[in-house]
Amino acid sequence: MKFNIALLAGDGIGPEVINEAVKVSDAIAKKFNHEITWTPALTGACAIDAVGVPYPDETHEVCMKADAVLFGAIGHPKYDNDPSAPVRPEQGLLLMRKKLGLFANVRPTFTFPSLIDNSPLKRERIEGTDLVFLRELTGGIYFGEKGRKDNGDTAFDNCVYTRAEVQRLAKKGFELAMTRSKKLCCVDKANVLETSRLWRETVQAMEKDYPEVTVSYEFVDAVAMRLVQWPNSYDVLITENLFGDILTDEASVISGSMGLMPSASVGEHTSLYEPIHGSYPQATGLNIANPLATILSAAMMFEDAFGLKAEADAIRAVVNKSLEQGVVTEDLAPKGSKAYKTSEVGDWLVANL
Amino acid sequence: MKFNIALLAGDGIGPEVINEAVKVSDAIAKKFNHEITWTPALTGACAIDAVGVPYPDETHEVCMKADAVLFGAIGHPKYDNDPSAPVRPEQGLLLMRKKLGLFANVRPTFTFPSLIDNSPLKRERIEGTDLVFLRELTGGIYFGEKGRKDNGDTAFDNCVYTRAEVQRLAKKGFELAMTRSKKLCCVDKANVLETSRLWRETVQAMEKDYPEVTVSYEFVDAVAMRLVQWPNSYDVLITENLFGDILTDEASVISGSMGLMPSASVGEHTSLYEPIHGSYPQATGLNIANPLATILSAAMMFEDAFGLKAEADAIRAVVNKSLEQGVVTEDLAPKGSKAYKTSEVGDWLVANL
Ligand SMILES: CC(C)[C@H](C(=O)O)[C@@H](O)C(=O)O
Ligand SMILES: CC(C)[C@H](C(=O)O)[C@@H](O)C(=O)O
Chain A contacts in chain B segment 87-106 (CB below 8 A) = 88, 90, 94
- The number of the ligand nearest the C-alpha atom of A136 reads 1
* Domain encompassing residue A225: 108-260
Banded model confidence at residue B269, pLDDT cuts 50, 70, 90: confident
B205 lies within 8 A of chain A by CB: no
What's the CATH number where A245 sits? Answer: 3.40.718.10
- Cα separations (Å) of B311 from A137, B6, B276? 51, 19, 22
8 Å CB contact of B159 and A141: yes
Q: Which of A228, A248, A279 is best to mutate for the B interface (most B CBs within 10 A)? A: A228
Question: Based on the domain organization, do B278 and B253 belong to the same domain?
Answer: no
CA distance to partner chain A, nearest, from residue B62 (Å): 26
Calpha distance A232→A310 (Å, rounded): 27
Question: Based on the domain organization, do B95 and B153 belong to the same domain?
Answer: no
pLDDT reported for residue A316: 97
Question: Based on the domain organization, do A244 and A160 belong to the same domain?
Answer: yes
Ligand 2 nearest-atom number relative to CA B93: 3
pLDDT beyond 80 at B82: no
pLDDT reported for residue B34: 98
A35 lies within 8 A of chain B by CB: no
Question: Based on the domain organization, do A230 and A170 belong to the same domain?
Answer: yes
Q: Report the catalytic residues of B.
A: 142, 189, 221, 245, 249
Question: Based on the domain organization, do A55 and A157 belong to the same domain?
Answer: no
pLDDT beyond 80 at B283: yes
8 Å CB contact of B160 and A154: yes
Cβ neighbors of A89 (< 8 A, separation 6 or more) are A11, A44, A45, A48, A54, A74, A75, A76, A79
Dump pLDDT digits (tens) for B224-241: 999 999 999 999 999 999
| Mean pLDDT of all residues in B202-225 | 97
Calpha distance A6→B114 (Å, rounded): 55
CA distance to partner chain A, nearest, from residue B231 (Å): 10
8 Å CB contact of B192 and A249: no
Q: Report the catalytic residues of A.
A: 142, 189, 221, 245, 249
| Mean pLDDT of all residues in B212-228 | 97
Nearest protein CA to atom 11 of ligand 2, as residue: B245
Q: What are phi and psi of A156, to 5 degrees?
A: -145, 150
Q: Which of A243, A260, A277 is the last residue of a domain?
A: A260
| Mean pLDDT of all residues in B254-270 | 90
Tell me if A39 sits within 8 A of A33, measured CB to CB. no
Residue among B122, B156, B192 minimizing CB distance to A120: B122
What mean pLDDT value characterizes chain B? 96
Dump pLDDT digits (tens) for A198-238: 999 999 999 999 999 999 999 999 999 999 999 999 999 99
Query: Is A249 flagged in the annotation as binding?
Result: yes
Identify any residues that bridge with B133 across adjacent strands, giving them in sequence order: B107, B237
Identify any residues that bridge with B149 across adjacent strands, giving them in sequence order: B154
B122 lies within 8 A of chain A by CB: yes
Interval between CA B94 and ligand 2 midpoint (Å)? 8
- Pick the more confident residue, B336 or B151: B151
In this complex, how many residue pairs, one in chain A and one in chain B, have their CB atoms less than 8 Å apart? 177
Question: Based on the domain organization, do B96 and B225 belong to the same domain?
Answer: no
Question: Based on the domain organization, do B145 and B198 belong to the same domain?
Answer: yes
Banded model confidence at residue B255, pLDDT cuts 50, 70, 90: confident
pLDDT reported for residue B45: 94
B127 lies within 8 A of chain A by CB: no
Closest CA to A173 of A215, A228, A138: A215
pLDDT reported for residue A114: 85
Banded model confidence at residue B334, pLDDT cuts 50, 70, 90: confident
Question: Based on the domain organization, do A145 and A223 belong to the same domain?
Answer: yes
Which helix H or strand E contains A151, and what residues bound it? none
pLDDT beyond 80 at A81: no
Question: Based on the domain organization, do B131 and B229 belong to the same domain?
Answer: yes
Q: Which of A244, A260, A276 is the last residue of a domain?
A: A260
B35 lies within 8 A of chain A by CB: no
Question: DSSP letter string over A204-231?
Answer: HHHGGG-TT-EEEEEEHHHHHHHHHH-G
Question: Based on the domain organization, do A239 and A190 belong to the same domain?
Answer: yes
pLDDT beyond 90 at A325: yes
Q: Which of A215, A230, A260 is the last residue of a domain?
A: A260
Specify the number of domains making up chain B.
2
pLDDT reported for residue A245: 97
Dump pLDDT digits (tens) for A55-77: 999 999 999 999 999 999 999 88
Banded model confidence at residue A145, pLDDT cuts 50, 70, 90: very high
Closest CA to B104 of B201, B173, B195: B173
What mean pLDDT value characterizes chain A? 96
Q: Kindly list the residues from chain A whose CB atom is less than 8 angstroms away from the CB atom of residue B193.
A: 141, 146, 157
pLDDT reported for residue B69: 98
| Mean pLDDT of all residues in B251-270 | 91
Pocket test for ligand 1, best of A93, A107, A247 (most atoms within 8 A of CB): A93
Residue A233, burial from CB neighbour count under 10 angstroms (0-12, 13-18, 19+): middle
pLDDT beyond 80 at A83: no
Dump pLDDT digits (tens) for B27-57: 999 999 999 999 999 999 999 999 999 999 9
Question: Based on the domain organization, do B168 and B203 belong to the same domain?
Answer: yes
pLDDT beyond 90 at A192: yes
Q: What are phi and psi of B337, to 5 degrees?
A: -100, 160
Question: Based on the domain organization, do A89 and A9 belong to the same domain?
Answer: yes
pLDDT reported for residue B212: 98
Interval between CA B23 and ligand 1 midpoint (Å)? 49
| Mean pLDDT of all residues in A278-304 | 97
| Mean pLDDT of all residues in A31-53 | 97
| Mean pLDDT of all residues in B189-216 | 97
pLDDT reported for residue A312: 98
Calpha distance B238→B184 (Å, rounded): 7
